[in-house]
């Protein structure tokens, strides 16, 4: 079978590595890919938003299965275009990817179907938003409706900050048209957990849990990033929490989408907050998390291609989804200055060590080939993942492996997984 993966980050590297283990795969391509993905797939220089070129390429190579890793092409309707050309594609269609593409849509869906989430109001008019905020309780959360590289969420401590936030999102349009509509949401406190799931339109099977670290600096300080590290499983995601979420959040979400005529097939990523009043949905994503995929997929026992095909065919109920009884930690190696400004093009050394050690992975996020060398090519450069019997062991292993890798301006957080010490 010939597979095309769309995307270029650490998540797509983890997907490629997982897919490469499948006996079904004879040839893999990735558009546009990166220097690490090149080990498993032939990388082709087509951008993830170049739909016409992607469809033409898939046709020309007689691709049997396309896997879309990234949010932008999903929300933009790449799956629909591939399907229209008769190409089997794993991921939600445009009318279902709106679950991630519009926060106002997802909030209204949760309200309509009684899925636990923070109280909120949607606004298309900045004046109305400001009037509402005059009498609101603080802190309060402002969210640009559309995709904003994970940066469209502002937590405001007082009215002044909130006014500034409305200006940033709705008037200055810092996040572009994502700010045409804005969600104003109650501030929640609690432990955050990411739960990824496979969905075939009616059946949902959840994967092992994970936790991300979104802030750039140690102790959760500094700016929000795409994610600086993850661990899996989350010890805070207990059986009791899982039972509640299966009953009141996961299946109800899948059923709600189907009832709305927006049948969801692909990955639903539930961003949860474990509040004093029980688990609530922070956000939905319509794809694997990055860097959640880098700790979840290496622990998955199933054949990823088989599961993806079951989602497309509506036979997910026949799959026994299984994960290893161990743990994994991923530490992101970034370029100093990320997420604001940073330099690129520095040579990277140390990849060979990962080949010598079982259970250690070096996922490429922002890398490229330059004259035969692999050089830094982004803010998040690599994700170093290690497994262990326990979370603590996995963390020790992952940090030891970060020392194998050397490049100028290397930056990482030193407290990934620190929360597990509280358990
Ligand atoms: P989101 O993109 O919606 O997941 O938001 C990004 C981050 O902002 C989340 O991971 C939380 O840390 C934080 N956040 C979002 N919504 C809320 C909320 N209602 N209360 C507290 N924190 C929030
Ligand atoms: N790690 C968070 C995300 O992928 O959105």
pLDDT tens by residue, 33-56 = 999 999 999 999 999 999 999 999
What distance in angstroms lies between residue 54's CA and the mean position of ligand 1's atoms? 33
Please state which CATH class domain 2-93 belongs to: alpha beta
Helices (H), 314-410: 352-356, 391-402
Does position 149 have pLDDT exceeding 90, yes or no? no
Write down the pLDDT at residue 333.
98
Query: Which CATH number is correct for 327-422, 3.40.50.300, 3.40.50.11610, 3.30.160.60, 3.90.600.10?
Result: 3.90.600.10
What is d(CA 255, CA 239) in angstroms, rounded to the nearest whole number?
A: 22
What distance in angstroms lies between residue 204's CA and the mean position of ligand 1's atoms? 24
Is residue 397 a contact partner of residue 359, using CB atoms and an 8 Å limit? yes
> What would the pLDDT profile of 312-321 be if each residue is shown by its tens digit?
999 999 999 9
What distance in angstroms lies between residue 282's CA and the mean position of ligand 1's atoms? 6
Please state which CATH class domain 125-180 belongs to: alpha beta
What distance in angstroms lies between residue 4's CA and the mean position of ligand 1's atoms? 33
Average pLDDT, the chain: 97
Nearest to 74 by CA among 285, 296, 315, 305: 285
Alpha carbon nearest to ligand 1 atom 7, residue: 153
For residues 231-247, b (16+ Cβ closer than 10 Å) or e, as one string? bbbbbbbeeebbebbee
Question: Which strand (E) or helix (H) includes residue 66?
Answer: strand 65-68
Mean pLDDT throughout 209-228?
94
Ligand nearest to the CA of 226: 2
Domain parsing of the chain, residue ranges: 2-93, 125-180, 191-318, 327-422
Using the atom order of ligand 2, give the atom closest to the CA of residue 290.
Answer: 4
Ligand nearest to the CA of 283: 1
This prediction has a pTM of 0.97
Query: Which CATH number is correct for 191-318, 3.30.470.20, 3.40.50.20, 3.40.50.300, 2.40.33.10?
Result: 3.30.470.20
Using the atom order of ligand 2, give the atom closest to the CA of residue 288.
Answer: 4
Alpha carbon nearest to ligand 2 atom 2, residue: 289
Ligand nearest to the CA of 175: 1
> What would the pLDDT profile of 58-77 be if each residue is shown by its tens digit?
999 999 999 999 999 999 99
- Beta carbon of 141 within 6 Å of any ligand 1 atom: yes
Write down the pLDDT at residue 150.
77
Is residue 143 a contact partner of residue 187, using CB atoms and an 8 Å limit? no
Find tokens 């990055």 and name the residue.
290
């Amino acid at each position: 079978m010939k597979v095309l993966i769309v995307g270029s980050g650490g998540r797509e590297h983890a997907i490629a590595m997982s897919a490469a283990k499948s006996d079904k795969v004879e040839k893999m391509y990735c558009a546009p890919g990166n220097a690490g993905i090149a080990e498993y797939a032939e990388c082709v220089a087509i951008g993830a938003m170049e739909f016409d070129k992607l469809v033409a390429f898939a046709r020309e190579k007689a691709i049997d299965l396309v896997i879309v890793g990234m949010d932008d092409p999903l929300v933009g309707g790449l799956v629909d275009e591939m399907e229209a050309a008769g190409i089997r594609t794993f991921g939600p269609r445009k009318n279902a990817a709106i679950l991630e593409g519009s926060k106002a849509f997802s909030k209204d869906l949760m309200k309509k179907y009684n899925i636990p989430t923070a109280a909120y109001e949607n606004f298309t008019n900045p004046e109305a938003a400001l009037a509402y905020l005059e009498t609101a309780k603080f802190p309060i959360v402002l969210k640009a409706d559309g995709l904003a590289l994970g940066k469209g969420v502002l937590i405001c401590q007082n009215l002044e900050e909130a006014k500034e936030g409305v200006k940033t999102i709705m008037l200055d349009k810092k996040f572009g048209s994502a700010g045409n509509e804005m969600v104003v949401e109650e501030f929640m406190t609690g432990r955050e957990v990411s739960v990824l799931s496979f969905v075939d339109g009616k059946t949902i099977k959840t994967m092992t849990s994970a936790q991300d670290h979104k802030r750039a600096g140690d102790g959760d300080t500094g700016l929000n990033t795409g994610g600086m590290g993850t661990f899996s499983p989350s010890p805070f995601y207990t059986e009791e929490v899982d039972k509640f979420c299966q009953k009141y959040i996961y299946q109800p979400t899948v059923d709600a989408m189907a009832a709305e005529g927006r049948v969801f097939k692909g990955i639903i990523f539930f961003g949860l907050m474990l509040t004093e009043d029980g688990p609530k949905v922070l956000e939905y994503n319509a794809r694997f998390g990055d860097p959640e995929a880098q700790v979840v997929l290496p622990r998955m026992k199933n054949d990823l291609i088989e599961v993806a095909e079951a989602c497309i065919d509506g036979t997910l109920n026949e799959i026994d989804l299984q994960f290893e009884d161990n743990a994994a930690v991923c530490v992101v190696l970034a370029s100093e200055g990320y997420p604001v400004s940073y330099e690129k093009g520095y040579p990277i050394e140390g990849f060979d060590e990962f080949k010598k050690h079982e259970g250690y992975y070096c996922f490429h996020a922002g890398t490229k080939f330059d004259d035969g060398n692999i050089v830094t090519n982004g803010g998040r450069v690599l994700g170093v993942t290690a497994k262990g019997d326990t979370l603590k062991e996995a963390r020790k292993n992952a940090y030891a492996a970060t020392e194998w890798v050397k490049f100028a301006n290397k930056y990482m957080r030193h407290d990934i997984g620190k929360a597990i010490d509280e358990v």
